[in-house]
Amino acid sequence: MNQSSIFLKNLSFFAVLAVFLSSCADKKALEPHEGFVEVTGGKIWYEVVGEGPNPPVLLLHGGPGSASFGFDPLREMGYEGPIIFWDQLGCGRSEALTDTTLMTLENFVDQTERLRRHLGLEDFVLYGHSWGTMLGIDYYLRYPEEVKAIIFSSPLFSTDRWIADADTLIATLPDSVQQNIRHYESTGEYDHPDYLAATELYYSKFVTRKERPMVDRSHLKLSSGSEIYRYMWGPSEFISTGTLKDFDRLVDLSAINVPTLLVCGEFDESRPETIQFYSSLIPDSKVEIIPDAAHSTLNDNREAMMTVIREFLETVKN
């Protein structure tokens, strides 16, 4: 072998070594920290909680227009891996959003991917709750490559199905409440005291059954996502008049080819019967029902919900 060949062989070896070392550097452990990421329309807040060898878990909160506070019990779960909390634009600790042209599923998917790239997440678990499952399914359909597993908590994959379930639950309420709901929906008086009282009763049975703990957040500068909720969804949980009113991904569920957990509460507005139906459309999926809980499973039965999440994450460890 002449010197030229030896030189080229060594050069090739060191080039491969450099690429390998660079790859290792890119995959360094994700350490706990918080910060902001620039996205179209403003900055989104995020926090990485925990560290360890297990796959990162990227959270997608509900709404649209809520914040990640509902996931706070997961901070105490003892997971040996990073959990990424973040507030979507216009929500919680992220900057405000008033431009309705940015209140789209596509834009929220873009935000999610921007954060993933910023953190360098690979082989991560996507964990969405409620509206976060709508965002989650669309994110997965566009970017399936890095998703290792999915948790769909109290999912919504069809607005028509959701409204039909809501009608089923409304039918269990007193006749006078049902009449108020139908009357004020027909007149569009969604701010009428009787309609608001009806929504409170519905929420107490099917959204949050246990009183939420009081937490002082007066020191935080928070964005209100109520306009996002009304624009994209509507005036209440049981009627959709916004841009999501025709949302349907039922035909896309069969495209999910990673381990998937579907979980909901026993009294959830995302009804157990519907969750079972969704699961029948997803090849590698399982269903868990949280007893004594409605839609806010981590609030209503924290220990049972965290046990289910822990056990699922154990099955998808590296």
Q: What is the pLDDT of residues 27-61, one digit of tens each?
A: 557 999 999 999 999 999 999 999 999 999 999 99
Question: Which pLDDT band holds residue 16 (cuts at 50, 70, 90)?
Answer: very low
268 catalytic per annotation: yes
Q: Which range, of 54-63, 90-99, 196-205, 216-225, averages the lowest pLDDT?
A: 216-225
For the cut 70, the answer to whether the pLDDT of residue 262 exceeds it is: yes
pTM of the complete model = 0.90
> Given 240, 295, 296, 300, which residue is catalytic?
295
Residues 6+ apart with CB under 8 A from 194: 180, 184
pLDDT digits (tens, 9 = 90+) for 144-170: 999 999 999 999 999 999 999 999 999
Q: In this predicted structure, what is the pLDDT of residue 21? A: 42
Give dist(CA 175, CA 194) in Å, integer: 13
Q: Determine, yes or no, domain membership for 108.
A: yes
On the question of pLDDT at 22 being above 50, the answer is no
Q: How many domains does the chain have?
A: 1
Please tell me which residue in 268, 279, 285, 300 is annotated as part of the active site. 268
Residue 40 lies inside a defined structural domain of this protein: yes
Catalytic residue status for 300 = no
Q: pLDDT band at 17, cuts 50/70/90?
A: very low
The CATH code of the domain that includes 230 is: 3.40.50.1820
According to the model, what pLDDT value does residue 219 have?
82
3-state helix, strand, coil in the chain (%, to 5): 45, 15, 40
> How high does pLDDT run on average in the chain?
93
Contact 237, 203 (CB under 8 A): yes
> Is residue 130 domain-resident?
yes
| Mean pLDDT, residues 126-142 | 99
Domain residues for the domain of 262 are 28-159+215-315
Of 130, 158, 236, 270, the catalytic one is 130
Phi-psi region of 92 (alpha: psi -120 to 50; beta: other; left: phi over 0): left
All residues at 6 or more sequence positions from 55 whose CB lies less than 8 Å from its CB, including other chains? 81, 123, 124, 125, 148, 149, 313, 316, 317, 318
208 in any annotated domain: no
User: DSSP 3-state assignment of 82?
Assistant: coil
- Is 197 part of a structural domain of the chain? no
pLDDT at 200: 98
Residue 170 lies in a domain: no
Tokens describing residue 309: 């999440």
Contacts of residue 308, Cβ cutoff 8 Å, sequence gap at least 6: 261, 263, 288, 290
Whether residue 95 contacts residue 88, with contact meaning beta carbons closer than 8 Å, is answered with no
Residue 6 has pLDDT above 50, yes or no: no
Res 5 pLDDT > 60: no
In a domain, 17, yes or no: no
Residue 224 is a catalytic residue? no
44 belongs to a structural domain: yes
Cα distance between residue 275 and residue 262, in whole Å: 7
Angle (deg, nearest 10), helices 159-170 and 175-187: 140
